[in-house]
Structure 1
């Protein structure tokens, strides 16, 4: 990675306009994205998460000490059967990445999520003096290898009934983000109490070779409840409702991280940047865990990488995560430009416009930059187009009106983006998450 950065001139030049790779092996639509979105609100949705995330196993007597040193989380209550949202920061308190962390056994752990956090932890495990072994499997859709596990999810008002039908015997009493063993079609399955888009549900996983049989059983159990299998596009849209930003530029280019960049390959660590915001300084694309909404899980009662900087920010962050509700008439203007003479605005592919892994659009107030808009989606259940943004604290109050700049720089070289004019779209600040949490 270090050589690639040097050749490009700076990290932004390396990461700008690369487009976006294939997300998953699941088709974009199984039935229809609107009906698939409706299912998590009205009946039950099934999602296949087996192909788009990285898995990391860490095992050994120093494993908890290892996680405690590099994650912001509190591990005092760690015990088998519990899960956490694992968050890691760089020495300057800037966000690197997150993953879902599972305590499998006394000295055995699994985390599942994007590559950024896992790459950083893998480097530390391989170069540090810890009595642990770490095994990292890349995204199966990228490597072409079969996953270690199938990973499925059901969510929606009928999700619990579906799983009661599918599971052999009774479902154990599980608190939120707790997991236990069940059997489906005679196969042992790990069942996590979870959910997305604010609706109740379960995530469950087991050996990949059993995946097709398990999927068929759950889909059959859900038939009477109008279950819908989510396609790749609709699957990505609940993030905006839930308030979770899936990808941002990982803060890995700071001074003092040169050895890590030498270790990291371009294929492992490179994410593309897109959108109307542009800066030659890569640090302008960084966020802190607090700005991304993780302040409630940061534990200052233990020493961890980035603690000092995050302590200084605690209680008084400069920026906050919000939802932006984009003005419908302004969005209609984007499409209307296709039917009039002159320049057109950047095409907005519904429901999830995504031509870069890390979208960054300018958020303005009275013409001044006050924030950055990231992941965005049209949500049929709300009849709203929304995005998640990090804005200056002074403009984070719900009801505040701001402007989002829709489009890319004039010198854009992303081949997935056509020539276009920029469009200023009015947006209104709303809470994140956007809808009531019913999980």
Structure 2
């Protein structure tokens, strides 16, 4: 029996929104990894003040793309510059539809001249593989789903560990017997531990410099133990699944934008190709911002801060649409700092709300009404409140602008999107994104 496709599910539900809208949806957190090791507050503090170890091995979907046309298919369907893409370098890969809306992003690592590894949630991988197969590109694929979706269970092909925080360089030097070679941000270098070869990708999160280590799973346990031992004198903390989901709120990365694939008649075949039980059919929408039209959730890469990644020096799907949108008055990405007293009152019922994490799209209102929507909100203990990555209208982007966040769950179809449902308001102040000044300026500078 053929499994249901995304298009089957849309037809059955009646619309993409009726398929995806799910009030009070539980936020996603990585499975397999422990929720907390020493407490989410202490684990957040570790990458701000000390050193943290994160295990990313189990929730990433990996797609290897190899063959003479590997670069061509990626360039034809992504906005990035492939003229300046060295072996060992990584980029945030950004594919868009013919209308210029983002499919989603992923991390693309060039492993060899004609070999790439695309990692992240699988929407970008689906897009590339479908168009490669449909377009007859001379390229092959190897997939490794995340541990939650790997058929038959089993281990991942790769381990993926991050060492982050002010003491990251010291821990790495202790583990490897000396500092690693100077490596530019988002570039990698080969390393070995007692004859075990893997790669170190220069990376950072929440304003702190660090490394992401990738290698064959057979070395995972050994490498992990070495890092733990080297980190003991430095107060190393392992980061659990709860805290791991929060640094993106400080670093300004918005995870999982809605893939803009649900409505274009020319993508009907693509929607029939996509399985229902994938990110496009199962990642829910919820919050106080509601629209019956899924296209109201579509985004241009400019709105996510990806304008500098767009390279118009080559032809790619969506190029003309992005040229037209380049100077349009689009929303911008900002950080909202939620009033801590309101957070305690509205979310915590007068008490400390503890850990807060939501990917809900909450309405953001100014004096004239709706001015934006939140994309991800999370407790950031070192800041002392909840931060929200938010898309907001151009006239509300100035730091210090005061707005309110409507905190609640719209019931969905059958209720007016603009209805006043009596949801409480949380006062908030606009600040830049990324929130941390170092993340905005220095640690991405040396690319």
Match runs of 1:301-340 below 5 Å = 301-335=313-347, 337=349
Distance 1:336 1:352, change over 3 A: closer
Q: How much has 1:352 moved relative to structure 2?
A: 3.6
Match runs of 1:245-284 below 5 Å = 245-255=254-264, 256-268=266-278, 269-270=280-281, 271-284=283-296
Q: How much has 1:23 moved relative to structure 2?
A: 2.6
Q: Which residue of 2 aligns with 1:186?
A: 195
Distance 1:359 1:327 in 2: 18
Please point out which of 355, 358, 362 is paired with 1:351.
355
> 8 Å contact 1:370–1:392 — kept in the other structure?
yes
Q: How much has 1:335 moved relative to structure 2?
A: 4.6
- 1:431 partnered with 2:443: no
User: Which structure 2 segments of 5+ residues have no match?
Assistant: 1-5, 415-420
Q: Which residue of 2 aligns with 1:79?
A: 86
Distance 1:70 1:142 in 2: 26
Distance 1:317 1:85 in 2: 24
Q: How much has 1:148 moved relative to structure 2?
A: 1.1
> 8 Å contact 1:2–1:261 — kept in the other structure?
yes
> 8 Å contact 2:344–2:350 — kept in the other structure?
no
Q: Secondary structure at the match of 2:304?
A: coil
Q: How much has 1:208 moved relative to structure 2?
A: 1.1
Q: Which residue of 2 aligns with 1:7?
A: 12
Distance 1:233 1:15 in 2: 24
Match runs of 1:93-132 below 5 Å = 93-132=100-139
Match runs of 1:184-223 below 5 Å = 184-223=193-232
User: Which structure 1 segments of 5+ residues have no match?
Assistant: 340-347, 414-419
Q: Which residue of 2 aligns with 1:400?
A: 401
- 1:376 partnered with 2:377: yes
Distance 1:336 1:102, change over 3 A: closer
> 8 Å contact 1:178–1:192 — kept in the other structure?
yes
> 8 Å contact 2:342–2:427 — kept in the other structure?
yes
Distance 2:343 2:297 in 1: 26
Per-residue Cα deviation, 1:1-60 (whole angstroms, up to 9, x for no partner): 111100000001101117346632111101111110110011101100011111010001
Q: Secondary structure at the match of 2:302?
A: coil
TM-score by length of 1: 0.92
Distance 2:214 2:327 in 1: 38
Distance 1:164 1:5 in 2: 52
Q: Which residue of 1 aligns with 2:302?
A: 290
Distance 1:6 1:197 in 2: 41
Distance 1:225 1:213, change over 3 A: same
Distance 1:37 1:82 in 2: 28
Give the number of equivalent residue pairs: 422
Q: How much has 1:412 moved relative to structure 2?
A: 9.3
Distance 2:269 2:412 in 1: 33
Per-residue Cα deviation, 1:209-234 (whole angstroms, up to 9, x for no partner): 21111111011111111111000010
Higher alpha-carbon deviation: 322-331 or 166-175: 166-175
Per-residue Cα deviation, 1:96-116 (whole angstroms, up to 9, x for no partner): 111111110111110111111
